[in-house]
A and B are shown apart, each in its own frame.
Chain A
Amino acid sequence: METTAKSIDTVTARWKLTRVVVLALLALTFILVIAGIPVALALPAVFISALGGVFGALALFRTGEMWGRAALIALALLFSLSITFQLALGSILTTLPLLLLGYLMILFFVEAFDALSKHSQMHSREMLQLQASRAIPAIEKSLQHVLRKMARLGLMLGACYLLTLTAVSLGSYLASFSSLAPDTSIYIVAVSVSLALLLILREE
């Protein structure tokens, strides 16, 4: 019985830690995204960030899909603002690594909120009380699934980030050689999208 209680405590602690880490990452992402917004708009940006942070915390700790969506909307709004200002200022190429990281973090949170929301029921207090001894493997499995998914997603998005930066650098590098192909990256993108489309729309 003691072992069971210990196992429950361990799983619960790990589940809480996961959510705290995700919240910390969310806060970092907000900081990352508002970094691209000019000082004149800093106040509303900070306000939206704070609001988004609260929504994110609610989504993670009170588990509601609606809160998660609200946090993502706040993040997307700030990202759009950031990208618009960088475009207007003509400095998008210099801030591209930062913006790209912000974009990938948004994609990460889409998945993270979804996964945490789906698994929250499994880690609810009632669920832990419901035949606790039997439910432990299921709860552990659920936590494993969340962690595995986030780790794989992190790796995948990290690889995407590096590949994109490589493609952009390669494009700029090639552009310096040939004036005929100033935007090599666009061709890489077009090819990748077409390939993806071909794969998606093919018949089984």
Chain B
Amino acid sequence: MTLTKKGVVYLVIAYSFIGLSLILKESALTAFVIPTALLLLISSHVSRPPELKVTRRIYPQRSFGDEDIDVRVEVNNNSNRTVNELDLEDQIPESLTMGVGTRTLTTYLRPHEQVEFSYRISAPRRGSYALGPILLRRSDFMQFHEYKGELPVRDELTVMPKIEKLGPIALRARRVGQWPGLVPSRRTGSGTEFFESRPYALGDELRRINWKASAKAGVLITNAYEGEQVTDVLVVVDGSEGTLSRVFDFDVAEFELSLAASLCSQLINQGNRVGLSVYSAVRTWVDPGFGKRQLLRLLNGLAVASPGRASIPLQYAVESVIVSMVAAKSVVVFISPLMDDQIVRVMTNLATRGYEIMCFTPATVVDLAGMAESEILARRILAVERRIKMAEVAEVARLIEFSPRLDIKQELRRWKPRQRA
């Protein structure tokens, strides 16, 4: 319990009147002290507030960006006594912008009464935000004394990267799983692509018999189709380059994460076992897995990723993670600006080990107008270096360029996986 500034001011006023009345020998001035003294007397005590039950509700609980978040805080007085002059303030990180509503509530609560307040957070950016605790201030009637405390109500607001529907992604892997999927398995199965013709065996479906070939051969010939199964896919996001904004004309780091989210979503929907590795200031990885829960894990991993220069070398960090997380001959999808010298080496090494590699890289279209001669030269050198790296990558991986101006769906449709010998 502390005396507030207001309490001190009232005391000073009271003593000023006493002092003035003594100095001026004017007893009438003391009359002004009586109300002040009475108020100080009445408001001389404040007790700790009783147990309050506070609940914070967040709508929607999972956000994919570009939408406002509504927060509602309910306060219940579960005790049998009235709580007067209660101030509550919900704490939110500074990086969040408040929309309409109020984060503070000044109220009184009768026994077992409930009150609520709500506010809106304006479309937060991708990330994870801690909401709470709630600051509590209980004062006496005139607010001369106050008790300050905290209600430990903490919630996490996760804004995931925006997901775009990409349509089917054609993958090819040397290693496939047992479950049916969309990845050609190089084995006969129940797919749609013709694989081989072979003599009829007991149990073959009649509709699979190739009547023309059977007539020519004199024995029954059956068409066999290539089975399509799932595979293991690891999405690797290289968000280590801290100076990307100077090289590209859009926020590459955010775009990379958003693309990774879309790819993860599509690959999971295709039934694959998908994992994630983000190489940046804060390294994040999610072990491969199937299903919707795995997608949530992947999106959470992308939500908390913060782009920036990493402290450990890319080759060590990425290669070791990939090798430990997915078996050889699986698919590795790189999303990288190809700025690091080691990235090409990593991809070459992985290709040698039998991994099927896809690489998404941002397209460089920079407006050079208004730039100094030296800057233009530097950018041109950088662009040439990147072109060389892209050419090297294209030898071992499928390369797809992306930018906000390019339709990634169309690029993916146009793209066909390499046919192996």
Once A193-B37, A195-B41 are accepted as A-B contacts, the answer to whether A119 and B106 lie under 8 Å apart by CB is yes
B27 close to A200 (CB less than 8 A): no
B14 close to A193 (CB less than 8 A): yes
Interface string of B347-375 (1 = CB under 8 A from A): 00000000000000000000000000000
B116 at interface (Cβ–Cβ under 8 A)?
yes
A168 close to B18 (CB less than 8 A): no
A16 at interface (Cβ–Cβ under 8 A)?
no
A186 close to B27 (CB less than 8 A): yes
Give residues of chain A (88-130) contacting chain B, Cβ–Cβ below 8 Å: 92-93, 96, 99-100, 103-104, 107, 111, 114-115, 118-119, 121-122, 124, 126-127, 129-130
A76-B362 Cα distance, complex, nearest whole Å: 66
Q: How far is the CB of B31 from chain A (nearest CB, A)?
A: 5
A189 close to B120 (CB less than 8 A): no
B215 at interface (Cβ–Cβ under 8 A)?
no
Partner of B102, one of A122, A141, A189: A122
A93-B26 Cα distance, complex, nearest whole Å: 9
A193 close to B107 (CB less than 8 A): no
B72 close to A107 (CB less than 8 A): no
Give residues of chain A (14-56) contacting chain B, Cβ–Cβ below 8 Å: none
Q: Which residues of A contact B179 (CB under 8 A)?
A: none
B116 close to A137 (CB less than 8 A): yes
A13 at interface (Cβ–Cβ under 8 A)?
no
A5 at interface (Cβ–Cβ under 8 A)?
no
B118 close to A160 (CB less than 8 A): no
Q: Which residues of B contact A134 (CB under 8 A)?
A: 72, 116, 118
Interface string of A176-197 (1 = CB under 8 A from B): 0000001101101110110111
B255 at interface (Cβ–Cβ under 8 A)?
no
A186-B37 Cα distance, complex, nearest whole Å: 12
A121 close to B102 (CB less than 8 A): yes
Once A129-B100, A152-B141, A200-B44 are accepted as A-B contacts, the answer to whether A192 and B31 lie under 8 Å apart by CB is no
Q: Which residues of A contact B31 (CB under 8 A)?
A: 96, 100, 164, 167-168, 185, 189
Q: How far is the CB of B74 from chain A (nearest CB, A)?
A: 10
Interface string of B95-125 (1 = CB under 8 A from A): 0000111101111100000011111100000
A171 at interface (Cβ–Cβ under 8 A)?
yes
Interface of A, secondary structure class, is: helix
B115 close to A199 (CB less than 8 A): no
Q: Which residues of B contact A197 (CB under 8 A)?
A: 11, 40
Partner of B34, one of A93, A141, A188: A188
A156 at interface (Cβ–Cβ under 8 A)?
yes
A130 close to B39 (CB less than 8 A): no
Give residues of chain B (152-210) contacting chain A, Cβ–Cβ below 8 Å: none
A192 close to B37 (CB less than 8 A): yes
B52 at interface (Cβ–Cβ under 8 A)?
no
B242 at interface (Cβ–Cβ under 8 A)?
no
B26 close to A87 (CB less than 8 A): yes
Partner of A200, one of B7, B26, B119: B7
A118-B139 Cα distance, complex, nearest whole Å: 14
A138 close to B117 (CB less than 8 A): yes
Q: Which residues of A contact B421 (CB under 8 A)?
A: none
Interface string of A138-181 (1 = CB under 8 A from B): 10011001001000110011011101100110010000000000
A192 close to B33 (CB less than 8 A): yes
B48 (CB) vs chain A CBs: closest residue? A204
A191 (CB) vs chain B CBs: closest residue? B37
A131 at interface (Cβ–Cβ under 8 A)?
yes
A164 (CB) vs chain B CBs: closest residue? B34
A104 (CB) vs chain B CBs: closest residue? B35
Q: Which residues of A contact B44 (CB under 8 A)?
A: 196, 199-200
Q: How far is the CB of B380 from chain A (nearest CB, A)?
A: 51
Partner of B32, one of A103, A137, A171, A182: A103
Once A122-B102, A127-B102, A138-B117 are accepted as A-B contacts, the answer to whether A160 and B108 lie under 8 Å apart by CB is no
Give residues of chain B (1-42) contacting chain A, Cβ–Cβ below 8 Å: 1, 3, 7, 11, 14-15, 18, 21, 24, 26-35, 37-42
B145 at interface (Cβ–Cβ under 8 A)?
yes
Q: How far is the CB of A178 from chain B (nearest CB, A)?
A: 14
Q: Which residues of B contact A81 (CB under 8 A)?
A: none
B70 at interface (Cβ–Cβ under 8 A)?
yes
Q: Which residues of B contact A58 (CB under 8 A)?
A: none
A44-B191 Cα distance, complex, nearest whole Å: 95
Partner of A192, one of B3, B26, B38, B102: B38
16 A-B contacts (beta carbon < 8 Å): A114-B143, A122-B102, A122-B117, A130-B100, A130-B101, A134-B116, A135-B118, A138-B116, A159-B38, A168-B28, A185-B31, A186-B18, A199-B40, A199-B41, A200-B7, A200-B145
| Leading 6 A-B pairs by shortest Cβ distance | A126-B100, A196-B40, A160-B35, A192-B37, A199-B44, A183-B27
